Structure 1
Amino acid sequence: MMSSVKVECVVKESALIGEGPVWEESEQTLLFVDIGGQKIHRWSPSTNQIQSLETGESVGFVVPRRSGGYVAGVGRSIVAVDWSTQMMTPLLEVDEDKKNNRLNDGKVDPIGRLLAGTMGKETRPAEVQRQQGSLFSVNSDLSVTKHLNQVDISNGLDWSLDQKTFFYIDSLSLTVDAFDYDLLSGHIGNRRVVYRMEEGEGLPDGMTCDADGRLWVACYNAGRVIRIDPVTGVRLQTVSLPVTKTTSCCFGGPDYSDLYVTSASLGLNQSEQQLAGGTFRVTGLGVKGRPSTSFTG
């Protein structure tokens, strides 16, 4: 029997490009960024309050840091964020030879290493300089390893339940890919396609893995999140949202059974889609997610 899936807009404040939702267990809050609006947001479901920090440059992701506070990708810098003082401290810079690049999606692996990617800045709306981006990891000593270059739009990332597979999206390839992952060394290899986007599914964007090992992929320009089985390459479920530019998703809530979905309003006029740029909560999926890991650096 299908559970009754419910979609509600919980953060109505419109983001230009809402992205990178992360559930923060300790605070029971949802962290997410507005790339174009240059803000980090923290929203509490229990109080419905939103707190924001202006970053002064585009911000691709934010993740909790084990030593306290957060780490965010701002411009081409990885910065430490002290929420209480609203201070940002640069830790390191990437893609030094590509001044037009910016950080996009990032996530922490199961042992606390940060993986993040870059992309060429849009020269015109929706026109990205192709093959300018890279994917790299930041270790706990803040050393950087580059894994891939010639990436178009480095996007969604997550790991399999057994931690031996790394899932990754380069949006313009229109595929979800997998790599063998060596958790100890952080080495990736043996790239293969696990899912090809079908007609009408738009661009694959942010992604999260659920407690059953299935992937939930936000479909940009297609107003939906799809659940796929990375083993069989089959789409299992589609959740439609009332906005077209769905950007990313994560599970959260007290028992990780709520799916949070971010969206963008960039290039849309508000009369077309009143909720564009909002953040949505999907309940009744009958599926749970997994807690995120904090960055050890």
Structure 2
Amino acid sequence: MVTETLAESICDVGATLGEGPIWVERDAALWFVDIKAPSVYRFDPETGTLDSWDAPDQVGWVIPADDGSFLAGVRGGLHRFDPATGAFEHLVAVHPETPGNRLNDAARDPMGRVWFGTMDNAEFDRTGHVYHWHEGALTKTDVPPVAITNGPAISPDGRTLYTVDTLGKTITAHPVHADGSLGDSRVFLTVGPDDGHPDGAICDSEGGVWVGFFGGWSARRYAPDGSLTDIVRFPVANITKIALGGSDGRTAYATTAAKGLDDVARAAQPLAGNLFTFRVAIPGVPVEPVTL
């Protein structure tokens, strides 16, 4: 049986391309980005306060670091972002041979590795690769390149990596070995022609995979065997990614996008680009800080 839920707008953001939501326990707040602004946001659900910081270039995601700062995926490389000062410090370049690429999405695994992907900013050439970064070392994986990488999502035990080929409308599962190398992959999900494009993905504490659908008016949860368990409907078309947080880990937050909407569609979707929320049955996995 598939559970159906409705999401509600919780914060007026109006993001062109909201992305990368992540619940940060030390702040009891949700952090996310608007890639195209480019900006980093912090939403406090207790007060409803929305704070923002300008980024130096298109920013795909932030992940908390153990010194109180954040690791940020900014076009061209990884940065240390300090919200106390608003400063971005460049740490390492990512594939400088493809200046038309940008960083798109990321996840931290239980070993402290940060997995992330790049993509063609023009959304055409298959120049997007999947990487992992750990304790200063950057590794390019052998996941085949695609135009738009999304996810990656990590199973709770860290043994499975899910990568999303947004334009190819497929999600692939990869075994993760102890050294961070990947085993033989398998297709986890093929998305139907009327379901939109799979965007950001995360795993909950039971290994379920939540996926936002760009142009699909929904977020969906799939069991580890690939069967559909939940559909959450939205009053906007472009759902980019969700995060699970709150005091019990069962409050979902979803970023959305106004990108690609013409004047008619924008008028019909006045909440496009806002932050949304809904409740879930299975809690998320707390995101531990990374070491910079």
Say which SS state the counterpart of residue 52 (structure 1) adopts. strand
| Residue type of the alignment partner of 2:273 | G
Residue 257 of structure 2 corresponds to: 264
Shift of 1:187: 1.0
1:144 aligns to 2:138 (yes or no): yes
User: Structure 1 CA distance, aligned partners of 2:3 and 2:183?
Assistant: 38
Shift of 1:296: 1.8
Does the CA-based 8 Å contact 1:113-1:296 persist in structure 2? Answer: no
User: Structure 1 CA distance, aligned partners of 2:114 and 2:69?
Assistant: 15
5+ residue gaps, structure 2, are none
Question: Deviation per CA, 1:49-105, whole angstroms, max 9, x where unpaired?
Answer: 111111131111111012221011111111101111111100011111111111110
Does the CA-based 8 Å contact 1:202-1:220 persist in structure 2? Answer: yes
Pairing partner for 1:275 from 267, 271, 275: 271
1:91 aligns to 2:91 (yes or no): yes
Question: Deviation per CA, 1:123-178, whole angstroms, max 9, x where unpaired?
Answer: xxxxx1221111111111x1111003522211112222332111111211211110
Residue 102 of structure 1 corresponds to: 102
Are the structure 2 counterparts of residues 102 and 185 from structure 1 closer, same or farther at C-alpha, using a change threshold of 3 Å? same
User: Structure 2 CA distance, aligned partners of 1:75 and 1:159?
Assistant: 23
User: Structure 2 CA distance, aligned partners of 1:205 and 1:4?
Assistant: 19
TM-score by length of 1: 0.93
User: Structure 2 CA distance, aligned partners of 1:212 and 1:88?
Assistant: 35
User: Structure 2 CA distance, aligned partners of 1:6 and 1:97?
Assistant: 43
1:249 aligns to 2:233 (yes or no): no
User: Structure 1 CA distance, aligned partners of 2:69 and 2:200?
Assistant: 23
Alignment of 1:206-225 (within 5 A): 206-225=200-219
Residue 165 of structure 1 corresponds to: 160
Shift of 1:281: 0.5
Residue 78 of structure 2 corresponds to: 78
Residue 290 of structure 2 corresponds to: 295
Does the CA-based 8 Å contact 1:73-1:79 persist in structure 2? Answer: yes
**Alignment identity in percent?**
32
5+ residue gaps, structure 1, are 123-127
Q: Which runs of structure 1 show a deviation greater than 6 angstroms over 4 or more consecutive aligned residues? A: 1-4
Moved more, 258-267 or 149-158: 149-158
Say which SS state the counterpart of residue 167 (structure 2) adopts. helix
Are the structure 2 counterparts of residues 102 and 3 from structure 1 closer, same or farther at C-alpha, using a change threshold of 3 Å? closer
Say which SS state the counterpart of residue 249 (structure 2) adopts. coil
| Residue type of the alignment partner of 2:73 | G
Does the CA-based 8 Å contact 2:2-2:229 persist in structure 1? Answer: no
User: Structure 2 CA distance, aligned partners of 1:46 and 1:4?
Assistant: 26
| Residue type of the alignment partner of 1:276 | A
1:239 aligns to 2:232 (yes or no): yes
User: Structure 2 CA distance, aligned partners of 1:149 and 1:197?
Assistant: 19
| Residue type of the alignment partner of 1:36 | K
Alignment length, in residue pairs? 288
Does the CA-based 8 Å contact 2:2-2:231 persist in structure 1? Answer: no
Are the structure 2 counterparts of residues 185 and 240 from structure 1 closer, same or farther at C-alpha, using a change threshold of 3 Å? same
Say which SS state the counterpart of residue 63 (structure 2) adopts. strand
TM-score by length of 2: 0.94
Residue 125 of structure 1 corresponds to: none
User: Structure 2 CA distance, aligned partners of 1:2 and 1:78?
Assistant: 39
Residue 170 of structure 2 corresponds to: 175
Q: Alpha carbon RMSD of aligned pairs, Å?
A: 1.6
User: Structure 2 CA distance, aligned partners of 1:209 and 1:261?
Assistant: 14
